Structures are given as C-alpha cells and as structure tokens.
C-alpha cells in the first residue's frame, strides 16, 4: 500500500500488497542492489546443489544456502519475501501438499482406530446369539 509523504525503510521493500505476485518483469531490489532475478538465480543454484548432494530439500535450507551465495547475513536484509521468489514459492506449495497429505493420513488412521475401538466396545456389550 502506498504511504504518501513517507519513505519506506529498507526492510519494507517488496512487502506491500502488490508485491505478493509480482509480474515477471517486476524488479524488486534491496538497498544492496540485489534484484529479484539475482535472488531467484541464487535460490535455483542452492536448490540444485542440495539436490545433487542427495540431501533433503526444504524451503528453509534453500533460503539459507541462497543467503550464503548472495553473501548476506539474513533473508530479511533482502526485503524480499519467500513468496516473491518463484522457486521458493513452488517449494512452499509442495511442502504444504506433503504436510496436508501427512495430516490427512494421520487423521484417517486415528479415526479408523477410534472406529475399531467403538466396534469392539459395542460387540463386547452385545449378548451372545445363544443367550436371550
């Protein structure tokens, strides 16, 4: 959102309402002169390096590695959110899907266990066929 008459701090760049889905030609740069394209390239390199090393790839690990490549102390110093970087946005999407499927499976198995317990209790309280 535009703030009339005031200047934004370095950490606020790219955090406005319109920065959630920047167009492909949109350039976000921090005070250090690092463009969104440079950040995306560093993130892609970090992701590929983690994949080739055979380790787990997560949004957090990729972002940390990208910070090392960009020689910055923290992601906040960029003024760019994870959602502004296409590779990180895609990783977050995949992580969200994995988490959702895990939680759904966990709920399903917990619910099935609950149903088995209910059926067991009902069967314990039911009189045998020979008894009346």
CA dist., res. 62 & res. 30, Å (int):
19
Q: What DSSP designation does 73 have?
A: S
The number of beta carbons lying within 10 Å of the beta carbon of residue 91 is 21
| pLDDT tens, residue by residue, 17-59 | 344 444 344 344 444 678 889 999 999 999 999 989 987 888 8
Residue 66 in tokens? 């990208």
Q: Looking at the whole model, is its pTM more than 0.85?
A: no
Residue 45 has a pLDDT of 94
Residue-level length of the chain: 132
CB 95 within 8 A of CB 59: yes
Among residues of the chain, what percentage have pLDDT more than 90? 22
CA dist., res. 126 & res. 123, Å (int):
5
- Taking Cα atoms as reference points, which of 28, 25, 31, 27 lies closest to residue 11? 31
């Amino acid at each position: 959102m535009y703030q009339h008459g005031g200047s934004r701090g370095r950490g606020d760049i790219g955090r406005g309402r319109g920065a959630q889905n920047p167009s492909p030609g949109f350039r976000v740069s921090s005070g250090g002169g690092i463009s969104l394209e440079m950040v995306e390239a560093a993130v892609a390199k970090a992701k590929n390096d983690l994949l080739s090393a055979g380790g787990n790839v997560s949004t957090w690990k990729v972002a940390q590695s990208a910070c090392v490549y960009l020689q910055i102390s923290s992601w906040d110093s960029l003024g760019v959110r994870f959602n502004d970087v296409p590779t990180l946005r895609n990783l977050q999407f995949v992580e969200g899907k994995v988490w959702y499927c895990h939680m759904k499976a966990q709920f399903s198995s917990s619910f099935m266990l609950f149903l088995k317990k209910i059926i067991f209790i009902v069967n314990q309280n039911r009189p045998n066929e020979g008894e009346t």
